[in-house]
Amino acid sequence: MSAEIVTDPVEAYNLITSQLQEVLNGQIIKNVLEVEKRPLKIYWGTAPTGKPHCGYFVPMTKLAHFLKAGCEITVLLADLHAFLDNMKAPLEVVQYRAKYYEHVVKAILRSINVPIEKLNFVIGSSYQKSPEYIMDIFKLSNVVSQNDAKRAGADVVKQVANPLLSGLIYPLMQALDEEHLKVDAQFGGVDQRKIFVLAEENLGALGYKKRAHLMNPMVPGLTQGGKMSASDPNSKIDILEEPKQVKKKINTAFCAPGNVEENGLLSFIEYVIAPIHELKHGTGTFEFNVDRPEKYGGPISFSSFEELKQAFKEEKLAPPDLKSGVADAINVLLAPIREEFANNAEFREAQEKGYPAPVEEKKKVKKVKNRGTRFPGSKPEGEAQTTEEVAAKLEETKLE
């Protein structure tokens, strides 16, 4: 990524909001850049629950844009949020997951040439247990209704038939993080929208200012419908997925011939592969190669996403070839991250303790019962009886 910072307020605003699905209160950002003439303070938070997947490349490319626009960025590793999300893991395990997420985020950013020394990493529990923060939770819970809190977390907190109270606290804390991290804007996926609206509508009641909210699109999963999710292993490619496993998952992805509307692979190219190529090679550049067998036309290259999309729509590019190209591109993206993992003992320990392998329960071996004889007074189970012993026992039990 170019180290040159964009200083023109209009250019900076366009860069900050580029490739986003939605912006709430963009005027707040413009005011900071044009009137206050200072760097925009922004935070991106992630709750360390399931293992990070390739969808995380999307927010990482936006962090690169924010840095180029001169923003001051805080990356929040929301360990207490992960703990509150329906007890997906005990707190001591979540702490290792937070370390794992930090390693992953830094490794992704390094792999796409983003300078991480300009990022401020914060663990949520480092300030969310302070008296001031807890008092703010009480104050906000006096303003937000149960229904509003439930609705705000509906797309983020795991939904179950009998929800825990923790799921209602989660969105309140995310709203308060904006104030306690002293930022101008919060960045996240469009699935966070209801929490962002909760913050906009209720922080003012505590005397806190309204913030801007930036939302990137969600990367569709590999299965038909739905987003790429840490809780659905078939919908995602893990950041440390082995090359063979990447190819296997991509080969089983939903990819109907000519269907460009419901195609997670094309979306992955649009939202992940293309922006990263631009970061590395300059704005407006695009290259996607398919190492196609000679009998199907040989290798083919595309210089724009629209050209690729049209070729697939017209069925000039077959699903197996698209899958092959995406699998190769993903393995190129993941190679430096896998290498960093292999060479970093702390990274490996964080994964091992944050995501311990499930312990298989040994199946109990059923004892074969020796049912003995039908005669009363037979020996205990497992002891044989002779005919003479049985006859003698019968003699003893006869009525005199």
Sheet-wide strand order for 185-189: 22-24, 212-216, 185-189, 41-46, 72-77, 119-123
Mean of the per-residue pLDDT values of the chain: 87
Percent with pLDDT over 70 in the chain = 84
**Which of these ranges, 35-39, 119-123, 395-399, has the smallest mean pLDDT?**
395-399
Tokens 């292999």 belong to residue: 342
Stretch 76-92: mean pLDDT, rounded?
82
The ranges of the chain annotated as CATH 1.10.240.10 are: 233-354
Strand-pairing partners, residue 72, are 41
**Residue 219 neighbours by CB under 8 Å, 6+ apart:** 54, 55, 58, 227, 228, 264, 267, 268, 271, 272
Percent with pLDDT over 90 in the chain = 62
Whole-prediction pTM: 0.82
* Tens of pLDDT, residues 153-185: 888 777 677 778 888 999 999 999 999 999 999
Could you give the 3-state DSSP secondary structure of residue 22?
strand
Pairing verdict, β 300-302 and 288-290: antiparallel
The ranges of the chain annotated as CATH 3.40.50.620 are: 9-216
Top-confidence residue, 300 or 370: 300
354 and 93 Cβ atoms separated by less than 8 Å: yes
294: exposed, middle or buried (Cβ count in 10 Å: 0-12, 13-18, 19+): exposed
Q: How far, in Å, CA of 154 to CA of 13, rounded?
A: 30
pLDDT given at position 246: 94
Q: Residue 282 — very low, low, confident or very high, per pLDDT cuts 50/70/90? A: confident
Stretch 187-198: mean pLDDT, rounded?
95
Plot region of 169 (φ>0 → left; ψ -120 to 50 → alpha; else → beta)? alpha
Whether residue 399 is predicted with pLDDT greater than 50 in this model: the reply is no
* Tens of pLDDT, residues 52-63: 999 899 999 999
The alpha carbon of residue 144 and the mean position of all alpha carbons in its chain are separated, in whole angstroms, by: 27
* DSSP state string for 213-276: EEEEPPPB-SSSSSB--TT-GGG--BTT--HHHHHHHHHTS---TT--SS-HHHHHIIIIIHHH
Stretch 37-59: mean pLDDT, rounded?
92
What CATH number belongs to 9-216? 3.40.50.620
- Domain 233-354: state its class: mainly alpha
**Residue 7 neighbours by CB under 8 Å, 6+ apart:** 70
363 and 269 Cβ atoms separated by less than 8 Å: no
Q: How far, in Å, CA of 235 to CA of 233, rounded?
A: 6
Whether residue 381 is predicted with pLDDT greater than 70 in this model: the reply is no
**Which of these ranges, 162-171, 183-192, 373-382, has the smallest mean pLDDT?**
373-382
* Tens of pLDDT, residues 9-35: 999 999 999 989 999 999 999 999 999
